[in-house]
Structure 1
Amino acid sequence: MNNTTPIIGLAGGIGSGKSTITKCFNAIGIQSVDADDVARFVVKPGSDCLSQIHQHYGDSILLKDGSLNRSALRTIIFNEPKERLWLESLTHPAIRKEIQTQLNNTSSKYALLVHPLLFETKQNTICQFVIAIDVSSEIQLQRVIARDQISRENAEKIIATQLSNSERINRADLVLENSGNINEMNAKVITLHEKILELLVC
């Protein structure tokens, strides 16, 4: 583990605005590692994870170009809890290893670990501080439905597998409320960034 770059966790459920907030941090020079990006990386064509997923589910889980059919996989794992557990047992160790590799290559004042399941996967244990995104469940639902073109029922199932907003906030060190426009978010991130720098000195 790279001890020269402190790690700050950014925890927020699906549809909480993690990507937008991360860009605000990136704009002020803070490097980030996004667990969602890593999750896509570890199942890319030719990966061991994708090979095992293919063996487990068959050709229906692949698109014509050989990449993972995420929509088909999502339908399976959110309707069959045992399948979700199987998939997590396969991918989570690979994701954890790749996250650490990428964090080791950061060099900003601190690195942001962006993770929808930060506490659930115990990745918070490698963070010096954790920021929880505060957003209403209704806003989350609307964002997920619009972005992923899925039903409200399926969006609710996805959100139900994650910690609630209040649970995440209770376990975090810092809270970032995500409402309003991008200018307001930029201002909030700059204020929070200054607070983090103060905490890291203490």
Structure 2
Amino acid sequence: MSTFVIGLTGGVASGKSEVARRFEALGIVVADADIAARAALAPGSDGLAETVAAFGNDILAADGGLDRAAMRRRVFADDAARRRLEAIVHPRVRAALEAQCRAASSAYAVAAIPLLAEGGGRTTYPWLSRILVVDVPEAVQLQRLQRRDGIDSELAAGMLAAQASRRERLAIADDVIANDGPLDALDEQVAALDRRYRALAG
């Protein structure tokens, strides 16, 4: 059981997944908010039923599951709709992440939460021991996002604008990983943090 939990966050295309993989490679349990969010809206779930009640049947795909592309378009265009969806999904995600982290058999656990700054930070996640931000300059983020998703600069800029700013993320950070260089530069940073977290957890 882990009582020492690191909240891992960063903007879109910052390299959070790469950092999470490196913690996992060191034997650390990583609970992923994206996986928890998909489970919260899985076919047959209470979360999906509540979402359909709020948005109507046109958010469903032919197989009865959530049409994620349709839902994404809907909430990107409408702040009130996004907040309504978040009110359904976020409490379920928080509960699932906390349960996974508490049950972890590793020295400490990592909760990977992309929207930690947007979702209220420490106020909403009072059980986090520390917050680790993967930080990249916005220009690098835009470049990576366009390359990763095959999108144009306008859509990439819109996706960045929909998230917390770099300054807002850094304001909640206890620890920061700079990820503006080659990926193998992450190894040393994660290893150093792992040693520190094990000492703090112990």
**TM more than 0.5:** yes
* 1:144-173 deviation digits (Å, cap 9, x = unpaired): 334445443333333223221222123211
Q: What letter corresponds to residue 143 of structure 1 in structure 2?
A: R
Other-structure match for 1:85: 83
Q: 1:14 aligns with which of 12, 15, 33?
A: 12
**In structure 2, distance between residues paired with 1:153 and 1:72:** 19
Aligned-residue offset at 1:133: 0.9
Equivalent in the alignment of 2:186:
185
2:94 to 93, 96, 118: 96
Change (3 A) 1:146 1:44: farther
- For the residues of structure 1 that align with 2:7 and 2:127, how far apart are their CA atoms? 9
Task: Please tell me whether the aligned partners of residues 140 and 180 of structure 2 are also in contact (alpha carbons under 8 angstroms).
Answer: no
1:176 aligned partner = 177
Matches of 2:172 and 2:188, distance apart in 1: 24
Distance 1:85 1:11, change over 3 A: same
Mapped partners of 1:90, 1:141: distance in 2: 29
| 1:66 Cα deviation from its structure 2 partner | 2.0
Give the TM-score normalised by structure 1: 0.88
SS in 1 for 2:118: coil
Q: Per the alignment, do residues 94 and 102 of structure 1 end up closer, same or farther by CA in structure 2, a change over 3 Å counting?
A: same
Distance 2:60 2:156 in 1: 22
1:132 paired residue number: 133
Instruction: Write out aligned runs for 1:1-202 (5 A).
Output: 4-124=2-122, 125-201=126-202
1:65 offset after TM fit, Å? Answer: 2.0
Identity %: 37
Amino acid at match of 1:119: A
The 2-side partners of 1:151 and 1:37 are apart by 27
Alpha-carbon contact 1:62-1:69 (below 8 Å) kept: yes
Please list every run of 5 or more consecutive structure 2 residues that lacks an aligned counterpart in the other structure: none
TM-score (norm 2): 0.88
- Amino acid of the structure 2 residue aligned with 1:104: R
- SS of 1:120 mapped into structure 2: coil
CA distance in 2, matches of 1:58, 1:146: 34
Residues 178 and 122 of structure 1: CA distance in aligned 2, closer, same or farther (over 3 Å): same
> 1:94 corresponds to which letter in structure 2?
R
Retained in 2: the 8 A contact 1:54–1:61?
yes
- What secondary structure, in the 3-state scheme, does the structure 2 residue paired with 1:197 have? helix
